[in-house]
Amino acid sequence: MGQVRLLGALRESKGRDWSDSFDGQEKDVQGVAARHRGTLVEIARDRDVSGREVHLFKRPALGPWLKKPDLYDGIAVQKIDRLTRRPVDIYLFFEWCKEHGKFLVSADGVDTRTRAGKAHAELLAMVGGWEWEAIQERNRDSRARAREAGRWHGGTVPYGYRITGGKGNWRLVPDTVPLFSTVADRRTWSPVDVLHWMIEMFLFGENGTGGWSYLRIAAWLDLHVPTSTGRGQWNHRTVKNMLRSRANLLGEDSHGNSRAKPLITMGLFQQVQREMDARARTIKPPRANANPLADVIWCPECTKKFHYLPQPDYADGTEHLGRYHCNTLNCPVKTIAAKELWEVLDAYMRLMASGVERHLLEVVPGVDYTPEINDLKVRISRLRRQDEDGDWEDDREGYRRRLGELRGKLRELEVEPVVPQSEQWTPTGETYGRFWESAALLGKGAELRRIGVKLWVDPRKPKGIGSGRINVEAPSGWLRWGLLEKPKRGNGS
Ligand SMILES: [Zn+2]
* Domain regions of the chain by residue span: 4-146, 158-282, 297-363+423-485, 366-420
pLDDT at 333: 82
Of the listed ranges 279-283, 325-329, 456-460, the least confidently predicted one is 279-283
493 confidence band (pLDDT: 50, 70, 90): very low
Residue 2 confidence (pLDDT) above 80: no
Q: How far is the CA of 291 from the centre of ligand 1 (A)?
A: 18
Please tell me the distance between residue 458's alpha carbon and the centre of ligand 1 in angstroms.
9
DSSP one-letter code for 53:
T
Residues 6+ apart with CB under 8 A from 161: 172, 173, 174, 175, 191, 251, 260
For residue 412, what pLDDT is reported? 86
Quote the ligand 1 centre to 334 CA distance (angstroms): 7
302 C-alpha to ligand 1 centroid (Å): 4
Percent of the chain at pLDDT > 70 equals 81
Higher local confidence (pLDDT), 153 or 347: 347
The answer to whether residue 486 scores a pLDDT higher than 70 is no
pLDDT at 477: 62
| Model confidence at 257: pLDDT above 90 | no
Which pLDDT band, with edges at 50, 70 and 90, does 350 fall under?
confident
- pLDDT tier at 489, thresholds 50, 70, 90: very low
Q: Collapsing DSSP states into helix, strand and coil, what is residue 273?
A: helix
Instruction: Return phi, psi of residue 293, to 5°.
Output: -110, 30
**Average pLDDT estimate for 11-30:** 75
Residue 336: predicted pLDDT: 93
pLDDT tier, 488 (very low <50, low <70, confident <90, very high otherwise): very low
What's the gap in Å between 27 CA and the centre of ligand 1? 84
Q: Which amino acid is at 220?
A: W
Distance 285 CA to ligand 1 centre (A): 30
Among 120-129, 394-403, 483-492, whose mean pLDDT is lowest?
483-492
Q: What is the pLDDT of residues 369-394, one digit of tens each?
A: 887 888 889 889 888 888 887 778 77
**Res. 130 pLDDT band, cuts 50 70 90:** very low
The mean-pLDDT minimum among 137-146, 204-213, 302-311, 391-400 falls in 137-146
Ligand 1 centroid to residue 288 C-alpha, Å: 26
297 versus 128: the higher-pLDDT residue is 297
Superfamily for 4-146?
Resolvase, N-terminal catalytic domain (3.40.50.1390)
CA of 440 to the centre of ligand 1 (A): 28
Round to whole Å and give the CA distance between 105 and 74. 7
Burial profile 377-400: b = 16 or more Cβ within 10 angstroms, e = fewer? eebbebbeebbebbbbbbbeeebe
Asked if residue 485 has pLDDT above 60, the reply is: no
pLDDT of residue 373: 87
> Ligand 1 centroid to 310 CA: how many Å?
19
Least reliable range by pLDDT among 55-59, 263-267, 429-433: 263-267
Q: What is the DSSP letter of 483?
A: I
User: How many angstroms is it from 331 CA to the middle of ligand 1?
Assistant: 5
DSSP label at residue 313: P
Q: Residue 484: what pLDDT?
A: 45
**Residue 48 · residue 62 · CB < 8 Å:** no
User: What backbone phi and psi angles, to 5 degrees, belong to 274?
Assistant: -65, -40
Q: Does pLDDT of 117 surpass 80?
A: no
Residue 358: what pLDDT? 84
Lowest mean pLDDT, pick from 263-277, 300-314, 360-374: 360-374
Question: Residue 304 Cα, ligand 1 centroid: separation in angstroms?
Answer: 6
Ligand 1 mean position, distance from CA 106 (Å): 78
Position 128 confidence tier, pLDDT thresholds 50, 70, 90: very low
* Ligand 1 centroid from CA 450, angstroms: 24
Q: Length of the chain in residues, anyone?
A: 493
Environment class of 174 (CB within 10 Å of its CB; exposed 0-12, middle 13-18, buried 19+) = middle
Angle value at C-alpha 64, between 58 and 67, nearest 5 degrees:
100
Q: What CATH fold (topology level) applies to the domain 158-282?
A: Hect, E3 ligase catalytic domain fold (3.90.1750)
For residue 300, the CA-to-ligand 1 centroid distance in Å is 7
> What would the pLDDT profile of 157-207 be if each residue is shown by its tens digit?
888 888 887 766 778 888 888 887 877 777 888 889 999 999 989 988 887
CA of 309 to the centre of ligand 1 (A): 15
Average pLDDT, the chain: 80
What average pLDDT does range 298-316 have in this prediction? 90
The pLDDT, as a whole number, for residue 491 is 38
pLDDT given for residue 285 in this prediction: 62
Q: How far does residue 333's CA lie from ligand 1's centre (Å)?
A: 5
Q: CA 8 to CA 71: how far, in whole Å?
A: 12
Q: Does residue 487 register a pLDDT over 50?
A: no
Using the mean position of ligand 1's atoms as its centre, give its distance from the Cα of residue 349 in Å: 26
Looking at the predicted structure, is the pLDDT value of residue 240 above 80? yes
CA dihedral 443, 445, 449, 455 (to 10 degrees): 160
CA of 298 to the centre of ligand 1 (A): 8
